[in-house]
Every structure is written in C-alpha cells, then in structure tokens.
Amino acid sequence: MTTYIIRRLLQAIPLLLGIVTLVFIIVHAAPGDPTAMYVQPGVSPEVIEQMRENWGLDRPIHIQYLSWLRSFLTGDLGVSLTQNRPIVAILAERIPNTLILSGASLLLIFAIGIAIGIVQAVRQHSRLDHVLTLGALFLYSMPSFWLGLMLILILAYKVHLLEWWPAVLKFPASGMTGVDYDLMGGWAKLGDRLHHLVLPSIALGVASAASVARYMRSSMLEVIRQDYIRTARAKGLSERTVILKHALKNALLPIVTLLGLYIPFLFSGAVLVEYVFSWPGMGRTMVDAIYQRDYPLVMATTFIFAVFVVIANLIADILYAVVDPRIRYE
C-alpha cells in the first residue's frame, strides 16, 4: 500500500513538470514576448525594459525556462498587475472558497448520483427508471452557467413574490455571505454560508451527478448479475444488505476512478458558476484577471487548477486502492 502510494507520488512529479512547461510554452507562443502582457497605459517603456532585464528575457530560452521552473517550484508566482500584491497572497484567499464550492458539489454529485444509480439499477425497466434516465439526459446536457441563471431567476427572485413560499427556500442570488454576516452569531453565520452555498453547488454539480447516476446504474446492473450476489442471497441476507453491502462496494470501484475525471470538469464548471454567482473563488479571480488583462494572475490560476487536478487524481488512485483489496495487496 505504501509503495503503491509512493509510486503514484513519483509519477506525479514529471506530470507537474510538464504542466509548468506547458504554461511556459503557452506564454511564449503568445504573440509578442511575455512583457507584451504588461504593456498597458501607465506603464512606461523604461519599466518594460527593466522587466525584460529582471525576467532575463534577453537571456537564451533554456536559461529562461530554468528560472521559470525555479520560481514556480519555489512557490513564487509573481505579482498581480491590478492588485499590486503577490499572487500567492491573492490565491491564498481565493483557493479555500473554490474548494468549499467544489467540495459541496462533489458531495452532492456522488451522494445523489450514487443513490439514484442504485435506485435505477434495483428497479431496472420500471417507469421510475425510465423517468430518471430521461431526466439525467437533460441534466447532463445542460450548461452549468445557464442552470445557475435559471436557479437565480426562480429560487432567488421569482419566489420572493410568493407569500406562502418558505423563507428558507428563498436563496441569495450571489456572494458567499449576506450583507449582515459580520453581525450574526456563530450558528447564524454557518446557516448563512450554507444558504449561499446551495444554488451554486447545485448549478455546478447537477450535470455531473446525472452522469454519475448513469455510470452507477450500469455498474450496479453489472454487479447484480455476479455469482457472489447469488451467494449473498443464498445466505439469507435481506435484499437491503445484499444491495448496500455486497453489491454497492463492488459497484463503487469503477465510480471511484471517475472521481479523477470529474475534478477537471468540476473546476471548469467552477469558473463559470463562480462568475454567475459572484463567488470569490479562483475561477472568478481568473475571469476578472482576463478582463483586466492581468496575465500573471491568469497563468498562476491555470497552474494551480492543474496542480489540484493532479492531486485529485492521486487521491482517487489511493481511494481506489483502499476500496479494492486486490490492488492493496498487489
């Protein structure tokens, strides 16, 4: 198990190097040299020339590459042009917010996706199964940003016109906290945060949840046919135990590998959903940075997103080993 984890960790190193390199290539392939990003009104040509020198752009490309590598690996992501602070400091504020949103979505994706998949497999070919399959098809064909807008339109605005609609189900349209957040007590603060989390995490997670449900259904159907399920029934176990103990764990194996596939997808969605909901996370930061042409910040967020994907894949691999004893003891 330990060797397995170490091997996976070692495999991640070249991947990270590759990612840094790719970002380097993208920057250098862009029209003009990297200082072109900094050419803005208010930045004098002397400053640009100074930058070229500081960055060593007059030096050969491989030297530049090495110094680029060094700065990224030491965690020096540069300085934001618009906010005039180290990018590391900006991201340190934003990363947790993105992780909260993605984490909530991930929870939603797997909890709902797996539950629906199980129900569909157990009731295969029933009317419920058909309805859920059709619903899932529509949900995973839905753009997350549009779903977000529709949720805002209906659950944040339109329901305010309804007297009888419970206040808990009137959700805030944007932000992470209410305006009066600082005045709230501990529990109220938590409630306010959760309240703000509902719509964005649904918008972000629904499509993936639908897709997980699809995979779960077919995985479960595959498992239910297996001999060991018949053995479990022959032992006199209740149908509940047979499904939730004997079938579920096996059916989850392929789903765990999906985790690694959903993370990049989730982050992509986060960029749009954070934008729609004014959620102060990395995605929102990135979009703002693009609008303000703050390229160092764009590059840094790209890099951090990619690193998170690598980490998520590592976690997925390790989880897989935890669930599947055949890998654990290989």
Partner 1 sequence: MNEAAAGAEDRPERGHIAKAAALVPGLAHLLEGRRRAGLSLLALALVTLAVLVFAIDRVAATFTTGRVDYWVALVTLIGAAAVAWGVGFREALGGPRARAKGVSQWAIAWREFSRNRVAVLGLYLMLTLYLATLLAPYLTPYEPNTIGDMATTRHLSPSLAHLMGTDKFGRDVFTRVLYGARISLSIGLIAVSISVTLGTVVGAASGYFGRVVDTVLMRFVDMFISFPRLVLLITVIALFEPSIFTVIVVLGLTLWPSTARIVRGEVLSLREREFVEAARALGLSGARIICRHIIPNVLGPVIVAATLGLGNIILVEAGLSFLGLSVQPPTPSWGNIIEGGREYLVQAWWVSTFPGLAIVVTVVAFNLIGDGLRDALDPRQRM
Partner 2 sequence: MGAPLLRVEDLRAYFHTADGVVRAVDGVSFSLEPGETLGIVGESGCGKTVACLSILRLLDPPGRIEPGSRIMLRDRELTAASEEEMRSVRGNEISMIFQEPMTSLNPVWTIGDQIAETLRRHRRARPAEARRRAAEMLRLMGIGFPEQRLDEYPHQFSGGMRQRAMLAMALACDPSVLIADEPTTALDVTIQAEILDLLAGLQERLGMGLVFVSHDLGVIAQIADRVIVMYAGQVVESGTADEIFRRPRHPYSEGLLRATPRVGRKMQQLSVIPGSVASPKLWPSGCRFHPRCPYAWDRCREELPVLRGEARAVRCWLEEEPARRTGGWDGAALAEDR
Q: How far is the CB of 224 from partner 2 (least distance, A)?
A: 9
By CB under 8 A, tell whether 14 contacts partner 1: yes
Segment interacting with partner 2, rule: CB under 8 A, options 32-40, 47-55, 151-159, 227-235: 227-235
Q: Choose one: 107-115, 142-150, 232-240, 301-309; the region binding partner 2 (CB under 8 A).
A: 232-240
Choose the one of partner 2, partner 1, none that binds residue 310, judging by a C-beta under 5 to 8 angstroms depending on kind.
Answer: partner 1
Is there binding between residue 257 and partner 1 (CB under 8 A)? no
Report the residue from 40, 174, 238, 278 that binds partner 2 according to the rule CB under 8 A. 238
Q: Which of 4, 38, 65, 265 binds partner 1 (CB under 8 A)?
A: 265
- Which among 193-201, 212-220, 249-257, 281-289 is the span making contact with partner 2, rule CB under 8 A? 249-257
**Using rule CB under 8 A, residue 323 touches partner 2:** yes
65 part of the interface to partner 1, by CB under 8 A? no
Q: Is 39 among the residues that bind partner 1 (CB under 8 A)?
A: no
Whether the Cβ atoms of residue 271 and residue 286 lie closer than 8 Å to each other: yes
Binding flag, residue 240, partner 2 (CB under 8 A) = no
Q: How many CB atoms lie within 10 A of CB 53?
A: 11
* Minimum separation from the CB atom of position 87 to partner 2 (A): 44
Q: Confirm or reject binding of residue 45 to partner 2 (CB under 8 A).
A: no
Where in 103-162 is the site for partner 2 (CB under 8 A)? none
Q: How far is the CB of 260 from partner 2 (least distance, A)?
A: 20
Which residues here bind partner 1, judged by CB under 8 A? 14-15, 18-19, 22-23, 26-27, 30-31, 37, 137-138, 140-147, 149-150, 152-153, 157-158, 214-215, 217-218, 263-272, 275-276, 286-287, 290, 295, 298-299, 301-302, 305-306, 309-310, 313
